[in-house]
Amino acid sequence: MGITVRRIENHEGPVLRDLRLTALLDSPSAFASTHAREAALADTFWAGRAAEGSVGSDRVTFFAFDGGTPDPIGLVAAFRSDADVVELVSMWTAPAARGRGVGAALVAAVVDFAHPAEVQLWVTRGNDPAQRLYERCGFEVTGEIAPLPSDPCKDEVRMRHCPR
């Protein structure tokens, strides 16, 4: 069946929580938050995040699946920071699913959601596989650099994808 991507559903707060916490343990330097901070968040937070990401045009969360398996193998979120810009955040693919097109499918879902707006993101400097993925998906480095919020000793690089 291949990789499928769909928008989160309103009732999937627990699934989002579990996947996000797994992502934070697997790739802590790729995120602006920490596992400890997010593990302490109440179930109501996750329910709200799922509800916000399931409808509307200001915020979205997508899950990726492999064939008919019920558990997601990747996720990405995005939010509209202004009328012309959508921020891609919280991108993660399960280690066993990397290199199989999951990341590209998730990025494509965000670009489609954002159209005709520009999509921007931050990627941790040194996370070369992620940066190469974004470049293959049409993103370019802007030259803007900022400290990683979860570890100010590391930097993030700004990238953007302009609508075609």
Q: Which CATH architecture has domain 3-161?
A: 3-Layer(aba) Sandwich (3.40)
Q: Give residue 151's pLDDT band: very low, low, confident or very high (50, 70, 90).
A: confident
Q: CB within 8 A of 118, min separation 6: which ones?
A: 84, 85, 86, 160, 161, 162, 163
pLDDT tens per residue across span 96-150: 999 999 999 999 999 999 999 999 999 999 999 999 999 999 999 999 999 888 8
Question: 98: which 2 tokens?
Answer: 């990397």
Query: In terms of Cα–Cα distance, which of 3, 40, 29, 5 is closest to 17?
Result: 40
Predicted TM-score (pTM) of this structure: 0.94
**How is the chain split into domains, by residue range?**
3-161
Q: What are phi and psi of 24, to 5 degrees?
A: -65, -35
pLDDT tens per residue across span 15-73: 999 999 999 999 998 888 999 999 999 999 999 999 999 998 999 999 999 987 899 99
Angle between helix 102-114 and 128-136 (nearest 10):
50
